[in-house]
Amino acid sequence: MIILKNISKFYNNNGNINSAINKINLELNLNEFVVITGESGSGKSTLLNIISCLDNYDEGEMYIFDEDISNYSKTDLEKYRKKYISNIFQNFNLINSYTVYENIELVYLLNGCKKNKIKDKVNNILNKINLMDYKNTKVSKLSGGQKQKVAIGRALAKETPIIVADEPTGNLDSKSGNEILQILHDISANKLVIVVTHNYDQIEKYATRKIKMSDGKIVENYYINSKNYSTVDVKKNTSNIKLFEKFLLAKKNAFNIFSKFILLFLIYLFLSVSVLSLYLSFIKKDNSVNTNGFNQFFQDYTGKRIVVNKKNNGKISEVDLNKLLDLDNIDYIIKEDLLLDKEYLLESSDYNLFFNALNIDTLKKVDIGTLPKQNNEIVIEVFKDNYYTSNYKEIFNKQYVIKNEENIIESNIKIVGIKFKENYDNYAKVYLNKEILDKLNMNIYSEFSNTKIKIGNNIIDSENENIKIVPLNSLNKGEVVITDNYSYMCNNYNCKDEKLSLDIMNKYFNSSTNLIIKNIITERNYKEILNLENYSLNNFYISMDDYIELYNKGNYQNSIFINNEKKVDETISKLNSLGYNTLYIKDTIVDFDQIFRNILNIFILIGIIIVLTGLFFISYFIIKLILKARNKYFTIIRILGASYKDVISLLFLELNLILSISFLFVIFIIELIKNKVLTLDYLNNLIVYLNISDFVILYIVLLLINILITIRFTKNIFTKSIIESYNEEV
């Protein structure tokens, strides 16, 4: 069944080529109990290792069950081993951190048995080797004899026709030795058992053949009892460990040596945190860039603002607004969008404050003072350590007016509350009620509109002339007051009671009205007639009612503020598909440093790749050191029939389980910080940039690192023959 023809193996000892075995010819068959003896160094182990395909040979041919295995590849040889051969060693080679049961179960798992079908088989074997009482004992706690029994149990579990034992009693006292040999004999029916021993007398009674070796050659080879050789076909099909069983085994391996688990856990923690910090530093930098640009039209240009209007320039109704608010990624909407980019002046006899106007409804609380109760009361938003905050009592006592460049828009204003700014931006903010806000809005529309004024046959156009339409409460509907600057438009320079028509045109609407000129003011009489503070040549004064009719035509343009800048493209395309034009303010930023920053980004990216590579090698070497202690484990499962792929997947699953636990731990801590259970402000500011997709990317990066580590480690084991990696161990 096994035939060796002229098999030799050589070793190179300091330049001298010595043969460990030399031109061995041998035939072994089933039902034999072969005993090999000989002095130390005579080549017994070498022969045994070659027979059991643990080692390769340099010359000759070898047949197992009539198949010539001389030209087989390593993987083919491993398949052969798995199918035909079990090994028993002098020093047992058990998995010390497993129980007796688990050691034997492992063989079944590696040979493709389902976990739930193994139990009876293992118990059956435990009975045969008399270790039922020690079923759940860790093998490290057993005596030598008991350990060797487990090793025999394992060989039985492998169900191979050939059992090879290299000095199985070498480390045992004679009593246990006898017991072991007895068991070996008991199980030898229909098998080929080959035993190497120093102590031939102890085994003589079981032997069917004796082989003696000397100096790499067979010097005696004779049968002790004649045997009928079985011709039973004992070949069985081999199968590999199943997926679910892989998970079970990987889980067991991840946790069964606690110190190893903790060490790996800490390394993966270190790795996760490092990769995370690298990633954060990269996106943080990316975000801090935003404020470096500037824009001459929009004062508010954070990356969260999208300006929208309807593609048909129609009104945006409350229903529309509610629909928009229901969309993903929408934080809030500012209706008085134009005001975000317009500065007004809050003025008293002593103080001036330039501000952007916001709706008081958006404000829930103030830091000093109260929320407004009257229409003329306002709240200002300024920095915490500010002149206004330290002198708030004085400030609350003053009367203010709100002005644009030239004209008072609202007077009798009182400050009743102060809110502290949270973000850095240039302008103070003032929270106003809807009525004043509308006035400011109309003011902007009147600035942005094209205005045509017609008196008689004369027309003036704001395209060529500087015209301002200003509302005055003291005028009645239908009345207009002009300056004598425009008297030339009337017959005989007499404009009083003449008709004047006003036409307004802007992007969103047209409107017009017909008025009667009530008065003409001059530099001398403007104070008495209209009670104005200053005289301005280009103003046309109309009643508030007319002003509202002309300019308060509804809501056409709003600013949407989003939650997540990274999803802006999605949000914009959604808005477009709903019939809105969009202007993403960040895109309008004029950024002269962009090219420089792009170059800088490339360098930073290279830096990150270098650091990542460094991290990979650091973790690889530490993990390799930890795994080094597990070389023995992997060599043993290889001996028991685990293939290269099996070892890769087992190791990967094990490492990955620990990695996942570390990673989940990191996420858990991050969530604690995010939810302010842990207060680490600096970290919190960074962490807000992270979302689920980032975690997925990070996890994949760590997974890749793990795959590389696993492959490198496994390759290292498998480039050697089993006996080479085994010898490294012992």
Name the residues that contact Mg ion, by CB under 5 A.
45
Among 1, 8, 34, 38, binds ligand ADP (CB under 6 A): 38
Residues 498 and 490: their CA atoms lie apart, in Å, by: 8
3-state DSSP assignment of residue 158: helix
What is the nearest approach in angstroms of Mg ion to the Cβ of residue 42? 9
* Contact partner, 354, from Mg ion, ligand ADP, none, Cβ < 5-8 Å per class: none
Which residue number is nearest to Mg ion in terms of Cβ?
45
Site for ligand ADP contains 40 (CB under 6 A): yes
41-49, 458-466, 548-556, 690-698 -> range binding ligand ADP (CB under 6 A)? 41-49
3-state DSSP assignment of residue 24: strand
User: Which 174-203 residues touch ligand ADP, going by CB under 6 A?
Assistant: none
Give the relative orientation of helices 594-628 and 692-718 as an angle to the nearest 10 degrees. 40
* Contact partner, 152, from Mg ion, ligand ADP, none, Cβ < 5-8 Å per class: none
Q: How many CB atoms lie within 10 A of CB 133?
A: 9
Site for ligand ADP contains 614 (CB under 6 A): no
Site for ligand ADP contains 443 (CB under 6 A): no
Site for ligand ADP contains 11 (CB under 6 A): yes
Residues 634 and 642: their CA atoms lie apart, in Å, by: 8
3-state DSSP assignment of residue 248: helix
Element (H, E) at 454: strand 450-455
What is the nearest approach in angstroms of ligand ADP to the Cβ of residue 17? 10
Q: Which is nearer to ligand ADP, 8 or 97 (CB)?
A: 8
Q: What is the number of residues in the chain?
A: 730
Nearest to residue 434, comparing CAs of 493, 363, 344, 526?
A: 363
Instruction: Note whether 169 and 177 are within 8 A (CB).
Output: yes
* Contact partner, 99, from ligand ADP, Mg ion, none, Cβ < 5-8 Å per class: none
Nearest to residue 96, comparing CAs of 644, 722, 729, 630?
A: 630
What is the nearest approach in angstroms of ligand ADP to the Cβ of residue 58? 12
33-41, 226-234, 406-414, 541-549 -> range binding ligand ADP (CB under 6 A)? 33-41
* Stretch 329-368: interaction string toward ligand ADP, x if CB under 6 A: ----------------------------------------
User: Which 466-485 residues touch ligand ADP, going by CB under 6 A?
Assistant: none
User: Which 708-727 residues touch ligand ADP, going by CB under 6 A?
Assistant: 727
CA 304 to chain centre: 24
Q: Which is nearer to ligand ADP, 44 or 147 (CB)?
A: 44
Instruction: Tell me 340's DSSP state.
Output: G
* Stretch 45-74: interaction string toward ligand ADP, x if CB under 6 A: xx----------------------------
Structure-derived torsion over alpha carbons of residues 180, 184, 186, 188, reported in degrees to the nearest 10: 180
Q: In sequence order, what DSSP letters do the residues of 86-102 get, joined into one string? A: EEE-TT----TTSBHHH
Among 2, 20, 207, 360, binds ligand ADP (CB under 6 A): 20
φ, ψ at 298 (rounded to 5°): -110, 120
Site for ligand ADP contains 14 (CB under 6 A): no
* Contact partner, 543, from Mg ion, ligand ADP, none, Cβ < 5-8 Å per class: none
What is the nearest approach in angstroms of ligand ADP to the Cβ of residue 93? 16
Q: How many residues bind ligand ADP (CB under 6 A)?
A: 12
8 beta partners:
59
Site for ligand ADP contains 42 (CB under 6 A): yes
Q: Which is nearer to ligand ADP, 42 or 558 (CB)?
A: 42
Q: Which is nearer to ligand ADP, 343 or 724 (CB)?
A: 724
Site for ligand ADP contains 491 (CB under 6 A): no
Site for ligand ADP contains 169 (CB under 6 A): no
Torsion sign over Cα 224, 227, 233, 236? negative
Structure-derived torsion over alpha carbons of residues 674, 676, 682, 685, reported in degrees to the nearest 10: 40
Instruction: Tell me 352's DSSP state.
Output: E
Residues 235 and 160: their CA atoms lie apart, in Å, by: 8
Site for ligand ADP contains 276 (CB under 6 A): no
What is the nearest approach in angstroms of Mg ion to the Cβ of residue 624? 30
Instruction: Note whether 329 and 595 are within 8 A (CB).
Output: no
Instruction: Note whether 256 and 216 are within 8 A (CB).
Output: no
Query: Which residues contact ligand ADP by CB under 6 A?
Result: 11, 13, 20, 38, 40-46, 727
